[in-house]
Amino acid sequence: MHPFLPQLSFFLILHLYFLPSSSLFDGDLMLPGPTMSLEHLDPTLPPALPSQPAYCSVVVLQQDFADTVGSPPVSVNYTHPPDCPFPWTRVVLGLSLAVSGPQESRVGAVWIDGVEVLRTITPIPMAPGAFWRIDKDVTRYAALFRRLANGGGVVSMMLENSIAVLPGVFSANVSLHYYRGPLDDGQAASMPDVAHPSIRSLYHEPADVVLPVSKPDGHYGSGFWHRIDSETGVEATTVVIPRNAYRAVLEIFVSYHGDEDTWYTNPLRSEYLRQPMTAKLSASRANGAFRQVYATIDGRYAGGRVPFPVVYPSAINPFFWSPVTAIGAFDMPSYDLDLTPFLGLMLDGRPHEVGLGVRGAQPHWLVAANLHLWIDHWSDAVQAGPLEYFAPAIQMNRNAQWRNVDGESEVGAEGLERFAGWVSSSRGNLTTQVRHKTKMKSEVEVQNRGTVSQSDFIFKERTTVTVLRGNQWMARVQAVVEAPMQVQTTVQNAAGAPALQKTRFFHQLMQTVSLNEGQSGATTTRELTDRQDAEGSAMTSGGWGSGKSRSAYRYKDGSRCYARNVNTAGGVVIQDKKASCAAMAGVA
């Protein structure tokens, strides 16, 4: 078990919503007990294996982040090595981080010329000298790297940190690794982005142009991301689309903070149901667990996604996330919306507004996006037009029954949207159809005068993108995502002693992506299961706690498989097994 924990700020469901303070754990500032350094890790499939050396590597940025709250991002001019010319089969962004001492969890991001390529949440260090590394496949931003190689550019990183209470300083090292040739040793799959809900499989070649949909003055202000404080807030960015763009995909990054740190466990209070809309917009926390990140084009809804609930290191029980991070915390997922059906509205050479919002949002969310565009190099302009727009309001079901602190609530949401449009280019006259179905349910129950609680959250999404020439479809990709979560908490009170919270936790991401090229083409299927189970205890003051976790990661692409099981107890890895397809069945 961990004997010490510095300045905790994570939340018990009951106390979060029914006590005046949102911070349950008020442990005194203590230096961690262990003296050895601790490596935090993520079991996710790496974008390149150690046996696959990079063709060339470049250290881009090195920086210490101490008192950086309110400061602009750190930016450096990029110089590309002359002996590393294009083409590359893969580009990997490496972010190495270390922290000098106790510190809270922070949000960080890396941008290239204002385009966000990574968003991350730092772990809470349980030992001095804690360190970790993030490797992310960033080949989809190849247009940016070609521009960097040809004329340079600016790489920026932001990590708002304060040493006013805790002394930990983050040291960051950002590098880029360029690969050539095949990246497959026959044991692990080489598909980069399947770990997150995605439709990227349809796009064999990266986009020709990537435009930032973010704050244009991010170099000088509080970063490139927009802040969303309510569900009525929509932050818009003006963009001009090249007139010869034949495909468009919007990639959205989000993270949630303040009252929204644990939005996925939000109960729905009876009082919220009875409030008028104006009061609901300012009601804190009690509005249930439905959230949807969405985009607009010139004010018109263009698609949305339920965000995957990444559990932050300060949430539920911090002892669960040392040294194995929660699913998606190191490399927070982004969400793709295929905007090709909307190109007919945007190919006039004029400025258009791309807006970002979060339904159900409370203070606050940080959002930004990238617009990926494929260019027809054989045409100065292409023709496009809409065919179908079907986006009815999401059907909501809300019920709540409470008596003082005890009670239960249920929130359900279900929606279906369809968009279609045609684009006539040198590739022919092609129609793109997008169909997206969402189903979400949240249940919260509190008993025994607030000492026993359970929160269940699950969402399912199915996205299908079909490209047709006339009545014959040329390609179709379908992504199915399911993500259940359960948190069970019991609080034991003792006279004259801090309360003891016992928690059991389950979280899983399941995804299947199927790609079929042409009616006679083969179907490629990729499957992912990423699961975490944890249980432990923590005192509400004094900084004492313990936790153990089991992480099981499985990825399969045809005959190629990758599996990793990591078990921890008391902040130490007690089992770490990796396996290929042949040994998959033997991984316990």
Print the domain residue range for 566: 13-586
Nearest to 437 by CA among 496, 407, 478, 476: 478
Looking at residue 7, what is its pLDDT?
A: 28
Looking at residue 203, what is its pLDDT?
A: 63
Evaluate if residue 471 carries a pLDDT over 60: yes
Looking at residue 461, what is its pLDDT?
A: 98
- Specify if 116 maps to a domain: yes
- CA distances (Å), origin 313, targets 10, 41, 322: 8, 13, 8
Evaluate if residue 384 carries a pLDDT over 50: yes
Q: How many CB atoms are closer than 10 A to CB 21? A: 8
The residue-averaged pLDDT of 91-103 equals: 95
Evaluate if residue 388 carries a pLDDT over 60: yes
Structural contact between residues 335 and 577, judged by C-beta atoms closer than 8 angstroms: no
Evaluate if residue 9 carries a pLDDT over 70: no
The residue-averaged pLDDT of 134-163 equals: 94
Structural contact between residues 371 and 213, judged by C-beta atoms closer than 8 angstroms: yes
- Specify if 2 maps to a domain: no
Q: Which of 48-62, 188-202, 209-223 has the lowest mean pLDDT?
A: 188-202
Length of the chain: 588
- Specify if 7 maps to a domain: no
Could you report the per-residue pLDDT of 249-300, keeping only the tens digit for each? 999 999 999 989 999 999 998 776 666 544 544 456 689 999 999 999 999 9
Evaluate if residue 199 carries a pLDDT over 70: no
Q: Tell me the percentage of the chain whose pLDDT exceeds 70.
A: 85
The residue-averaged pLDDT of 197-222 equals: 79
Could you report the per-residue pLDDT of 508-538, keeping only the tens digit for each? 999 999 988 876 677 888 899 999 999 999 9
Evaluate if residue 399 carries a pLDDT over 80: yes
- CA distances (Å), origin 410, targets 291, 487, 489: 14, 15, 18
Give 332's DSSP letter: -
Q: How far apart are CA 528 and CA 192, in angstroms?
A: 12
Looking at residue 432, what is its pLDDT?
A: 98
pLDDT band at 100 (very low <50, low <70, confident <90, very high): very high
Looking at residue 520, what is its pLDDT?
A: 67
C-alpha R_g of the chain: 24
- Specify if 488 maps to a domain: yes
Could you report the per-residue pLDDT of 416-441, keeping only the tens digit for each? 999 999 999 999 999 999 999 999 99
- Specify if 349 maps to a domain: yes
- Specify if 5 maps to a domain: no
Looking at residue 286, what is its pLDDT?
A: 82
* Greater model confidence, 445 or 279: 445
Q: Which two tokens stand for residue 139?
A: 């080949």
Looking at residue 36, what is its pLDDT?
A: 64
Evaluate if residue 586 carries a pLDDT over 80: no
The residue-averaged pLDDT of 6-23 equals: 30
Tracing tokens 């490797």 back to the chain, one arrives at: 135
Evaluate if residue 20 carries a pLDDT over 80: no
Nearest to 421 by CA among 390, 391, 384, 381: 384
Q: Please, is 508 exposed, middle or buried when counting C-beta atoms within 10 Å of its C-beta (0-12, 13-18, 19+)?
A: middle
The residue-averaged pLDDT of 236-241 equals: 97
Evaluate if residue 140 carries a pLDDT over 60: yes
- CA distances (Å), origin 238, targets 213, 216, 235, 351: 8, 9, 10, 6
The residue-averaged pLDDT of 499-504 equals: 94
The chain-wide mean pLDDT, for the chain, equals 87
The residue-averaged pLDDT of 553-570 equals: 89
Evaluate if residue 158 carries a pLDDT over 90: yes
- Helix or strand holding residue 565 (H, E): strand 560-569
Tracing tokens 């997150």 back to the chain, one arrives at: 196
Looking at residue 19, what is its pLDDT?
A: 30
The residue-averaged pLDDT of 367-371 equals: 98
Total count of domains within the chain: 1
- Specify if 4 maps to a domain: no
The residue-averaged pLDDT of 559-569 equals: 90
- Specify if 245 maps to a domain: yes
SS3 of 377-395: the string is CCCCCCEEEEEEEECCCCE
- CA distances (Å), origin 404, targets 266, 364, 499: 16, 27, 20
Q: Can you give the pTM of this predicted structure?
A: 0.90
Give 336's DSSP letter: E
Give 518's DSSP letter: S
Looking at residue 198, what is its pLDDT?
A: 42
